[in-house]
Amino acid sequence: MKKFNHPARLGGSLLLALSCLEFAPMAHAGGEEFALCAKKYPDNNAERLKCYDNAQAAATVSDLPQPEDDEETALATGPALIAERSYLTRTWNLDDRTSHDESKLGRLVPHRQSYLLVRKTFNANNRPVSPATGNSTLVPEDIDALETKFQLSFKKDIGSQKDINFLNFKTLRVWAAYTQQSNWQMLNTRNSSPFRETNYEPELIATFGTGDASGLKLVNLGLVHQSNGKRFPESRSWNRGYLQGGWEWDNISVMARGWWRIPENTLKDDNPDIADYIGRADLVARWEPADKSQALTVLLRNNLRWAKTRSFAQIDWSTPIALGNAVRVHAQLTSGFGESLIDYNHRQNTFGLGFSFREW
């Protein structure tokens, strides 16, 4: 007579077979872990199933977007899995969402706006002047009122520290930044379409984050050099140290900055009165609705001399177009002193229209 297995032993074998069928399609997510579970608990079905559950849960979590993953990849994988980041949080990475793998080269990120405009001035500066000895153009230049203006601006974090607990600040991040603005006489073919002015502006910035969701979110300490790379009589340059605060409420952000010009040798100073024109402080206010259908930025600058005040204002408006999220139609209106370094003591009004590129 054929001998049958014990019912309990038969039930255990059947349960083991069903378990294997259940977890077989998921072997790609944790095959080695499942094999270890079977080896570790060959005769204990309950513990083996529990081990399988833990291995599958760990594999599922590892497939989700991690904090160091690229923001766009995480959003594409599952928008509901990460919270919406505010403008200042994205711009200065206040939530520390970058990879800390030192074997990888971190990417450059936007700093100020990058754009390409066709711009017209209503008071062209064809004879730049400066009180520095021999630093004035004697012969008027032949320039057009209409020219191409473009700006490239980016930064890279070069160090960070979390949980610093210093004066109520929670994080510290150090940035190296670079901005280049050029004015190109593209249609001035009679003079070989020269670049009238290019300003170079490298910066070193230390960002202290408060960790607050609104109100004061950051304080920046910065060192900045700005020059146009020209020789006499059109050379312009200066160095500054600055203190900047950043505030944010819903869709509005405000960055306010005051600076101190680092003194230079009087004989080598290209523009000794530059702070009286370009100013000693600026404020940038930005508004963008929740649907990101447009963005409005206002820059105000002043010399903080009430008896003889001089100022500058710039309004930038942009809206996305069908070419993708990285490109926007961009309009710019400026008025006052210092639209560029060569024009630091020249008052003018300008209007430009063109395209801007990814700005957080």
Q: Which residues are identified as catalytic?
A: 225, 227
99 φ/ψ angles, rounded to the nearest 5 degrees: -70, 140
**H/E stretch holding 14:** helix 7-23
Rounded-to-10 torsion of CA 328, 283, 72, 75: -110
Whether the Cβ atoms of residue 71 and residue 95 lie closer than 8 Å to each other: no
Please, are residues 340 and 181 in contact by the beta-carbon 8 Å criterion? yes
**Nearest-CA neighbor of 91 among 218, 257, 216?**
218
Distances from the Cα of 322 to the Cαs of 287, 292, 325, 355, in angstroms?
22, 14, 8, 12
Question: How far apart (Å, rounded) are the C-alpha atoms in residues 56 and 202?
Answer: 49
SS in 3 state form for 284-315? EEEECCCCCCCEEEEEEEECCCCCCCCEEEEE
Q: State the chain's maximal CA–CA distance in angstroms.
A: 121
Report the 3 state secondary structure along 73-137: HHHHHCHHHCCCCCHHHHHHCCCCCCCCCCCCCCCCEECCCCEEEEEEECCCCCCCCCCCCCCCC
Looking at residue 139, the DSSP 8-state letter turns out to be S
